[in-house]
Amino acid sequence: MFFDIFSALCTEKGVSRYKACTDVGLNRAAVAKWKNGAIPTGSTLTKLADYFGVSTDYLLGTEKEKAPTEDGGRQVTDDDIKFALFGGDKDITDAMYEEVKRFAHMVKLREEAERSGNKE
């Protein structure tokens, strides 16, 4: 599945599979490994996701939508934010995430008030 997604993204971008690899600093032999079923991990997966403007989940086939932004970049999802905030912990509840969002909003309001001279 990874190889098919990678190949389709190369076609969409108008580059060969080998060029995509060399553009992100990978050995061209990676293409043969992927064609035979290997799946990149870690920084390799991140480099490819950044190169194509998609999420690593999209590259792995677990996310079906690319979720582009208006400028063609990758849209940050709630799952991306949860991963960044909680280090990939899978036990994060929606309530915990909502609490973090409320706290962030409170901090933003406080900073805006301080900038405008309306300290409370």
Residue 56 sits in the same domain as residue 6: yes
Residue 21 sits in the same domain as residue 48: yes
User: Which conformational region is residue 40 in: left (phi greater than 0), alpha (psi within -120 to 50 degrees), or beta?
Assistant: beta
**Residues spanned by the domain of 105:** 78-116
Residue 32 in domain: yes
Our measurement of the distance from residue 8's CA atom to the centroid of its chain's CA atoms, rounded to an integer in Å, reads 18
Contact (CB, 8 A) for 23 and 15: yes
Provide the token pair at 16. Answer: 């060969």
Q: Give the torsion through C-alpha atoms of 68, 14, 22, 3, to 10 deg.
A: 70
Residue 25 sits in the same domain as residue 54: yes
Please state the domain count of the chain: 2
Residue 49 sits in the same domain as residue 23: yes
Q: Determine how many CB atoms are found less than 10 A away from the CB of residue 20.
A: 22
pLDDT per residue rounded down to tens, the chain (120 residues): 889 999 999 998 899 999 999 999 998 888 889 999 998 888 888 889 888 888 888 888 887 666 555 555 555 666 767 777 777 666 778 888 888 889 988 999 999 888 887 655
pTM for the full predicted model: 0.55
CATH of the domain at 18: 1.10.260.40
